[in-house]
Structure 1
């Protein structure tokens, strides 16, 4: 299993409007960690994926490059360049 870790920043007044990874094909689960700092909500998204093609479908040809969707500018205050992938070697 692959863990995909992404950090995003939204306005603190509407952090829950930018959350849904669960519907994507190949997704095995997601944790969203949040920290509020003044008027910003930092979300660290750790999503879990089947290795191989399903991760590529989400990430595109360069899986370490952050991929944004139309409409993201309504929510995100920053657009980070990358994401990280880790192989999951222990599970609960």
Structure 2
């Protein structure tokens, strides 16, 4: 199993709105991909910014490519992210889950 980890941040004022956007758009998109296992979407406020960390779990790297494309290390964004995110991190991290 592979864990894919993404981080993003918004203004504090967008904390709840971005949370609702992810529930409505991002989570269903991940969930419908064959090979997706589960996810954890984490959030907190630090230094007057809202931080979001998404950890998704996948069967293997090949199924991640079905979701993210051949350049599977590149972060996937939605058009609505332009309305919320303060920056766009280019890459995500992948880890082999061993326990």
> Residue 87 of structure 1 aligns with which residue?
96
> Contact 1:27 / 1:48 at 8 angstroms: preserved in 2?
yes
Cα 1:14–1:27 change in 2 (3 A) is: farther
2:63 — aligned with what? 54
The CA distance in 2 between the partners of 1:82 and 1:46, in whole Å, is: 14
TM-score, with structure 2 as normaliser: 0.77
* Residue of 17, 20, 23 corresponding to 1:17: 20
Which whole-Å deviations, capped at 9, do the CAs of 1:38-67 have from their partners, x for residues lacking one?
Answer: 542111111111214321022211111112
Contact 1:4 1:85 (C-alpha < 8 Å) held by counterparts: yes
Whether the 8 Å CA contact 2:31–2:38 is kept in 1: the answer is no
2:12/2:45 contact within 8 Å kept: yes
How far 1:14 moved relative to its partner? 2.9
Q: Name the structure where helix makes up a greater proportion of residues.
A: 2
Q: Which ranges of structure 1 fall in alignment gaps of 5 or more residues? A: none
